[in-house]
Structure 1
Amino acid sequence: MGLARYTLWRVVQAVPVLIGIITITFFLANQIPGDPVQTMLGPNPGQEQVEAIQARYGLDRPIHERYLSYLSGVAAGNLGLSIYYDRPVLEMIMLRLPVTLLLMLSAFAFAIATAIPLGIISAKRRNKPADHVSRIVSLIGVSTPSFWIGLVLIIVFAFYLGWFPARGLVLPWADPADVRGAETQFQVIRTAAHHLFLPMIALGTLQMAQITRIERSAMVDSLQGEYVKLARAYGVPESTIVRKHAFQVAQLPVITIIGLGLSTALGGAVLTETVFEIQGMGRLIITAINNQDYELIMGTTFMFGVAYVVGVIITDIAYAYIDPRVTYGDET
């Protein structure tokens, strides 16, 4: 089975998973106590207003009809109409998704750029001071919630030192006319990086700690392999052994933790965006839950599910790309 067929097969396998996410989310969202119409109109709405709102959003129909209608709508690319915003859910997601993607990608870039060197150094200097420091840092990172890290960063670097802003996020592709104090696109990018630094660290610390631990463990095993001992016996320089022989093999478990860490990052993004008042997908889903916006809850959860499934598929493909011993499908 080639790469294209394997990718298609994994996408087909993902369809039942996404349908399961839609189904579970739909029925759980509709079991939330309270009435979204009352939330929208206040405690004493008129009967005509209630009936009009229920008819507009389909809340007057039986739940099984609403489920089938929603399922067919998702298949057609329609995620429904937000009760709170009175706008299409897909439109709201497209407005907020770039913000969350920017935050997550920057957090993963920070995590990978710091974790892999730390893991390699820790493995090469096993049981030495550098290894102990790296392990302590990764242990603290794994044990500390992202929202707590965010609050500490705000207190230290925003409140006391005043080096970084404590709230908001600027998109690097925004128009300079829409960004305060910016006249050129370069100034917009600089402002975006300035705003992004603290939330990036807060969200990326957990990922960095997890990747560091896995990288160290994988590199330790790889450096003790028979092929490494043989290379050393032939007099191959240690730097070449680490770079060409041990490193590539050690990346398989790292790829797994990066791909599956997407779900952790999505959950952390909700808290990080709340702490730093960033208008992304995290704040969107919190707003949806607080206002019992069924369609928006289901739409944002579905997009989170899609992101996770895509991450798993990319991880599987990357496995076979990096290690020739891993095959696509039924190849032997």
Structure 2
Amino acid sequence: MGMLRYAIRRLLQAIPVVLGIITLTFLLTDAIPGDPVSVMLGPSPSAQQAAEIRAKYGLDKPLWVRYANHVVSILQGDLGRSIYYSAPVERKILERLPVTMLLMVSSYAFALATAIPLGILSAKRRNKPADHISRIVGLIGVSTPSFWIGLVLIIVFAYHIQILPATDLILPWAPPGAVSGASTRLDVLVASARHLLLPMVSLGTLQMAAIMRIERSSMLEVLQQEYVKLARAYGVSERTILRKHAFRNAQLPVITLVGLQLTQALGGAVLTETVFSINGMGRLIITAIQNQDYPLVMGTTFVFGLVFVVGVVLTDISYAYVDPRVTYDGEN
């Protein structure tokens, strides 16, 4: 019950954050220079056409009225109607969000699957060749933009070697009839994996490098603790020390970083989807900004902010599963 109360309290504390995201997004979107009506009707629309469009989308109302209506609509689950697509914003988000979530989840899976073993190996073999190589990989990874990595991967694996596709993304849950050359569910999964591999590596490299460096530092700190030295003195094998005594206690900083990396992953997804021509949330928000689609900009930004807030709350809650010393009773 302590964890449940803590989770509820953290969710309630997140409400002002979400409201702040809504408010800032609304004000910044309203401050964008230009007129969405001219985007829809051309640079010289008639006064009657412009008035009809403004009335349809509520652009003729004062700022505070539009803000209040926007907040009320979000509370009712209505994110407005896209000016560019002439469709409900939530419908466009539901079409694109699974694509972006697939890309983000796969990039995190790649990052964790490579960073944690590299970090442990680097800590175990400190100041040896394996450690130096891991540190160089981490330095290059955190210093290189995801879009540049994506372009290099396209040039190497799609243009020169020609073994992986460079554009689009096949969803693993797509029916076989909708995928070219696929007749079974396995064919769809294989095609999806081939299309996902390059953008996954492109987006996940930054997370991998950052997590690997934190994993190494955390493992080195834990391996110098007194209880580890005592275990060695009792003759406990190094493998057992790493697996049972050091690994779990070293993961709290890693979990913190994984939660905070959500912002970089969301921002990187925008560029990665653009480079690989993936129709996800990233390209959706770029299209919304380019066409001054106010409802779509506010809706996509709100969803991005909500994903980040939920990710941070889940990160806090996951601490107790990793470190039993962390409790959520009372004010802890």
Match of 2:126, SS? coil
User: Which residue in the other structure is 1:172 paired with?
Assistant: 172
Distance 2:257 2:329 in 1: 22
Show CA shifts across 1:4-23 (max 9, x none). Answer: 11111100000000000000
What is the CA-CA distance between 1:330 and the residue it aligns to?
A: 2.3
Structure 1 segment 288-303 matched on structure 2, within 5 A: 288-303=288-303
User: Which residue in the other structure is 1:260 paired with?
Assistant: 260
Distance 2:6 2:224 in 1: 33
Name the amino acid aligned to 1:239.
Answer: R
Distance 2:234 2:76 in 1: 61
Distance 2:261 2:253 in 1: 12
Structure 1 segment 47-86 matched on structure 2, within 5 A: 47-86=47-86
User: Which residue in the other structure is 2:201 paired with?
Assistant: 201
Name the amino acid aligned to 2:325.
Answer: R
User: Which residue in the other structure is 1:35 paired with?
Assistant: 35
Match of 1:326, SS? coil
Match of 2:251, SS? helix
Match of 1:171, SS? coil
Distance 1:52 1:178 in 2: 40
What is the CA-CA distance between 1:52 and the residue it aligns to?
A: 1.0
Name the amino acid aligned to 1:16.
Answer: P
User: Which residue in the other structure is 2:26 paired with?
Assistant: 26
Distance 1:226 1:143 in 2: 35
What is the CA-CA distance between 1:48 and the residue it aligns to?
A: 1.5
Distance 1:324 1:238 in 2: 23
The reply on whether 1:278 has 2:278 as its aligned counterpart is: yes
Name the amino acid aligned to 1:43.
Answer: P
Distance 1:289 1:173 in 2: 30
What is the CA-CA distance between 1:323 and the residue it aligns to?
A: 1.1
Label 1:14 to 1:331 Cα distance change in 2 as closer, same or farther (>3 A): closer
Name the amino acid aligned to 2:155.
Answer: I
Name the amino acid aligned to 1:231.
Answer: A
Match of 2:52, SS? helix
User: Which residue in the other structure is 1:133 paired with?
Assistant: 133
Q: TM-score, normalised by structure 1?
A: 0.99
The answer to whether the 8 Å contact 2:3/2:329 transfers is no
Label 1:62 to 1:130 Cα distance change in 2 as closer, same or farther (>3 A): same
Distance 1:188 1:318 in 2: 34
User: Which residue in the other structure is 1:90 paired with?
Assistant: 90
Match of 2:173, SS? coil
The reply on whether 1:311 has 2:314 as its aligned counterpart is: no
Show CA shifts across 1:77-97 (max 9, x none). Answer: 111111101111111100000
Percent same amino acid at aligned positions?
A: 66
Structure 1: state its 5+ residue gaps.
none
Show CA shifts across 1:206-231 (max 9, x none). Answer: 00000000000000011111110111
The reply on whether 1:142 has 2:142 as its aligned counterpart is: yes
User: Which residue in the other structure is 2:5 paired with?
Assistant: 5
Name the amino acid aligned to 1:294.
Answer: Y
Match of 2:261, SS? helix
What is the CA-CA distance between 1:331 and the residue it aligns to?
A: 5.5
User: Which residue in the other structure is 1:245 paired with?
Assistant: 245
Q: TM-score, normalised by structure 2?
A: 0.99
What is the CA-CA distance between 1:326 and the residue it aligns to?
A: 1.4
Show CA shifts across 1:264-290 (max 9, x none). Answer: 100000000000000000000000000
Distance 2:44 2:180 in 1: 43
Moved over 4 A (4+): none
Show CA shifts across 1:55-81 (max 9, x none). Answer: 110011111100000001111111111
Show CA shifts across 1:225-253 (max 9, x none). Answer: 11101111111111000000000000000
What is the CA-CA distance between 1:47 and the residue it aligns to?
A: 1.6
What is the CA-CA distance between 1:313 and the residue it aligns to?
A: 0.4
Match of 1:127, SS? coil
What is the CA-CA distance between 1:108 and the residue it aligns to?
A: 0.3
Match of 1:200, SS? helix
What is the CA-CA distance between 1:329 and the residue it aligns to?
A: 4.8
What is the CA-CA distance between 1:321 and the residue it aligns to?
A: 2.1
Distance 2:187 2:35 in 1: 46
The answer to whether the 8 Å contact 2:37/2:50 transfers is yes
Structure 1 segment 109-124 matched on structure 2, within 5 A: 109-124=109-124
RMSD: 0.9
User: Which residue in the other structure is 2:100 paired with?
Assistant: 100
Name the amino acid aligned to 1:168.
Answer: D
Task: Give the count of matched residue pairs.
Answer: 332
User: Which residue in the other structure is 2:45 paired with?
Assistant: 45
